Amino acid sequence: MTLRVAMIGHGFMGAAHSVGWRQAPRVFALPDDVEMAVLVGRNPTTVREAAQQWGWAESATDWRDVIARPDIDIVDIVTPGDSHAEIAIAALDAGKHVLCEKPLANTVEEAEAMAAAAARAAEHGITSMVGFTYRRVPAATFLRDLITEGVVGRVQQVRAAYRQDWLVDPEMPLAWRLQKEHAGSGALGDIGAHIIDLTQFVTGQTVESVSGVVETIVSQRPLSGGGSGLSGTATEGYGDVTVDDLALFAGRLSGGAIVSFEATRFATGRKNALTIEVSGDKGALAFDLEDLNSLQFYDRTAPSDRQGFTKILVTEAEHPYVGAWWPAGHMLGYEHGFSHQVVDLVRAIHDGTSPHPSFEEGLGVQRVLDAVERSAAAGSAWVGVLVDAPVGAR
């Protein structure tokens, strides 16, 4: 069987997903063939050039026409968040398997509608998955496995941060990621969603309540170079930034542990610093995306004269995903997680199983993001993460 893929949207994430679709069938023994059939974008020239560069067979400009095609099996959505719900629901209702970039949507209401569409589609054997790719970095997956084995004991505290600095310059032009109607939120949803998902993934617990603050440090930016689709109030060539630049929040997990979260685009000198450290009564584990082939492990049960954080190099064939790649010590990079994402999705489609993270899990992250915004609006008060609550309760 050949699974024909249409990817809607391109740009940075389009390039990363294209690498995954191209590499996974060549490295892993997939149960079905994969064909990169159609790349969809609004500009016919740029989408055609991207399709040629990344290896897509053809390009198109109308995603509705592509979804309606009977020869398309999988729809991969890498557009801004304001179009996720419309595209994903239409694709699922058309009987297409769907991979959707994170965060799942811009609002809880949209995410609820997407999760409901995914549940309906699942009754007919249609699969859906959210692209929280950092779950599939081998060291992050191995971190989850070790916690599940109990090597840190009872989880007592988690520290999770995602720090970048690409907005430190106040003259960085306004872009769609800085406008709420397109992005939903700023650092909170774009990178904060990753650390929420990763925390829940590695601990096996959910965030039940939060207390947080969000801040927009630079409120207006130059319009020049900001790209198409920008809107808002302009003052002498400047446009309003309508999302947060920085989100700091605490959370309480379902197992009782406290988590500190930091999502920022103003951490000067930090380019893509995602870190998570899980502390338990028997030990601790730490992961740093800027050193993504290793973990730091502290074994509190070892003799006191031999304690201290030690480095685990996660490049052995026994480690998650690694056996299909290179000999031990030959490092993997950022792009490999996208190949692993394709592997898990294709295998789930073939086996008729539900891959993770599901749209329901994506909805769970969206509810945490919503709770952080509600807490910030209430002066950082502790608020509960609403689950199965009526929309009007928000």
- pLDDT (tens, 9 = 90+) of the chain, 394 residues, equals 999 999 999 999 999 999 999 999 999 999 999 999 999 999 999 999 999 999 999 999 999 999 999 999 999 999 999 999 999 999 999 999 999 999 999 999 999 999 999 999 999 999 999 999 999 999 999 999 999 999 999 999 999 999 999 999 999 999 999 999 999 999 999 999 999 999 999 999 999 999 999 999 999 999 975 444 455 455 569 999 999 999 999 999 999 999 999 999 999 999 999 999 999 999 999 999 999 999 999 999 999 999 999 999 999 999 999 999 999 999 999 999 999 999 999 999 999 999 999 999 999 999 999 999 999 999 999 999 988 654 333 3
Contact 105, 128 (CB under 8 A): no
Residue 17 shares a structural domain with residue 161: no
**132: which residues sit within 8 A by CB, 6+ positions away?**
102, 193, 194, 197, 198, 201, 357, 362, 365
Closest CA to 40 of 90, 107, 93, 108: 90
CA distance 93 to 126: 9
Contact 13, 177 (CB under 8 A): no
Residue 122 shares a structural domain with residue 143: no
Residue 286 falls within a domain, yes or no?
A: yes
CATH value at residue 171: 3.30.360.10
Residue 179 shares a structural domain with residue 327: yes
Rounded-to-10 torsion of CA 272, 273, 274, 275: 170
State which residues form the domain around 169. 138-291+293-332
Residue 324 shares a structural domain with residue 252: yes
pTM of the model: 0.94
Closest CA to 200 of 364, 65, 344: 364
Residue 311 shares a structural domain with residue 181: yes
CATH value at residue 25: 3.40.50.720
Residue 349 falls within a domain, yes or no?
A: no
Residue 41 shares a structural domain with residue 144: no
Residue 385 falls within a domain, yes or no?
A: no
Residue found under tokens 């990363």: 16
Residue 322 shares a structural domain with residue 189: yes
**105: which residues sit within 8 A by CB, 6+ positions away?**
81, 84, 85, 111, 114, 184, 362, 366
Closest CA to 93 of 129, 61, 128, 42: 128
Pick the last residue of a domain from 115, 133, 151. Answer: 133
Residue 390 falls within a domain, yes or no?
A: no
Query: What is the model's pLDDT at position 297?
Result: 98
Residue 150 shares a structural domain with residue 274: yes
Query: Nearest 5°: CA angle at 150, between 147 and 151?
Result: 80
Pick the last residue of a domain from 107, 133, 159. Answer: 133
Residue 367 falls within a domain, yes or no?
A: no
Residue 381 falls within a domain, yes or no?
A: no
Residue 351 falls within a domain, yes or no?
A: no
Give residue-wise pLDDT tens across range 11-49: 999 999 999 999 999 999 999 999 999 999 999 999 999
Residue found under tokens 């026409």: 65
Query: Nearest 5°: CA angle at 159, between 158 and 161?
Result: 140
Residue 43 shares a structural domain with residue 148: no
Residue 260 shares a structural domain with residue 151: yes
Residue 241 shares a structural domain with residue 121: no
Residue 234 falls within a domain, yes or no?
A: yes
Query: What is the model's pLDDT at position 175?
Result: 94
Residue 177 shares a structural domain with residue 326: yes
Number of domains in the chain: 2
Query: What is the model's pLDDT at position 159?
Result: 98
Query: What is the model's pLDDT at position 387?
Result: 85
Pick the last residue of a domain from 133, 155, 174. Answer: 133
